[in-house]
Amino acid sequence: MRLLDTFRERRPFPGQDPWVVPHAGSLLLVQAAGGNRRIVVKRFKELARMDRNTETVIWAPSGPSSHGRHVWAPELHQIDGRWYVYFAASDGRATNHRMYALVADDPLGPYEELGPVRDPDHDVWAIDLTVFTHEDRRYAVWSGWEGPDDGFPQNLYIAPMSNPWTISGPRRCLSRPQHGWEMSVAPVNEGPEVIRHAGRLFVVYAADASWTQAYKMGLLECTGGDVMDPTSWQKLPRPFFTGGGHGCVVDTPAGTYLVYHRKLGGDPGWADREIRSAPLDWDADGYPVVRLGGPSGGTSPARGTGSSPGLSAGGSSDGLGRVA
């Protein structure tokens, strides 16, 4: 890094719902672009210099499509030697949002469409699909509605998969907005990501209204048993991270980071979001902690000063870490 770069104020990097993976000595950021009508991959060397990237369009609808508009929150996963992109999209009607998958032999394509990824028994509004394996079985986790016309709340659901693009069993509700900090503006759980540490399994998720500065992140932990059983999971009773949301955790040569987006202005809307990152560490009790002073800043986690956060399957919170 040049000496001048050390003292230069970092410019905001516009973007949303970041998903970053390491590949061949670089980092790849997958994003919706072009008015949310195509998917791009941006390749760069450092989180601190995401603006120095090479962009490749990896997917766009070839014509009229049931999923060519409102493309949201793509994720890029390498599974069994192939690359899968999961994204949500619609035909322009918000209630028609569903999840879709692409596959390629290289992360920059060319990609083949695999069609919708859905629970056939609950074919309702669904976004933010992520996938993981546990004890040699594959699962999908996403955000959705309970019924076809609900609007709110947005819950997190889990379902088994028979392959990387096929849900093979009925969904179960993993998390509902229950604490005050999850619904100070709107009751939302979305943007799940699975992370692991020292044999423990967590889901980091975004909570509250993404179109406001109330957006934040929560944490679920699997405490044992069947991951499809909601009672096997416990929820942190206060936010894991505040000041931003819908993030991912990525390992880089410089360390492990939470990459997330935050809203710059106070007026409701999605047009003024930027992508940031901050170092992620683990406390003495084995819970993730986001540290200040990352390559693009970072905001302070609202979970105390290194003490165990405590987990609860119930209760209520005032958003300050106190559980009633």
pLDDT of residue 292: 60
Q: Which letter, b or e, does each residue of 191-211 get, where b requires 16 or more Cβ atoms within 10 Å of its Cβ?
A: bbbbbeeeeebbbbbbbbbbb
Q: What is the pTM of this model?
A: 0.88
So what's the pLDDT on residue 314?
A: 30
Residue 99 burial (10 A CB sphere; 0-12, 13-18, 19+): buried
> Cα dihedral sign for 28, 200, 279, 140?
positive
- The span from the first CA to the last CA of the chain, in angstroms, equals 49
Identify the pLDDT of residue 150.
Answer: 83
Nearest to 40 by CA among 26, 19, 22, 23: 19
Q: Residue 91 — φ and ψ, nearest 5°? A: -95, 10
Copy the structure tokens of residue 106. Answer: 């290289």
pLDDT at site 205: 98
For residue 62, the model assigns a pLDDT of 86
User: Quick one: tokens of 32?
Assistant: 């919706």
How many whole angstroms separate alpha carbon 105 and alpha carbon 111? 8
Phi-psi label, residue 116: left if phi above 0, alpha if psi -120 to 50, beta otherwise: beta
pLDDT at 76: 98
* Helix (H) or strand (E) run with residue 3 in it: helix 3-7
The residues pairing with 218 across neighbouring beta strands, listed in sequence order, are 205
**Upstream peptide bond of 110 is cis (omega within 30 degrees of 0):** yes
25 Ramachandran zone, left/alpha/beta (phi>0; psi -120 to 50)? left
CATH of domain 17-290: 2.115.10.20
pLDDT at 168: 96
Helix (H, G, I), strand (E, B) or coil at 229: coil
Question: What are 123-151's pLDDT values in tens digits?
Answer: 999 999 999 999 999 999 999 999 888 88
Rounded Cα distance, 28 and 19, in Å: 8
Q: Which two tokens stand for residue 202?
A: 């967590």
Query: Which pLDDT belongs to residue 20?
Result: 98
Distance separating alpha carbons of residues 264 and 243, to the nearest angstrom: 10
Q: Which residue has the tokens 């947005």?
A: 154
Kindly report, residue by residue over 50-107, the tens digit of the pLDDT.
999 999 999 999 888 889 999 999 999 999 999 999 999 999 998 999 999 999 999 9
- Asked if residues 177 and 187 have their Cβ atoms less than 8 Å apart, the reply is yes
- State which residues of the chain have pLDDT below 50: 1, 4, 6-7, 294-324
B/e letters for 279-302, b = 16+ CB within 10 Å, e = fewer, are bbeeeeeebbbbeeebbbebbebb
The pLDDT of residue 147: 87
Would you list the domain boundaries of the chain? 17-290
Neighbours of 177 (CB within 10 A): 21
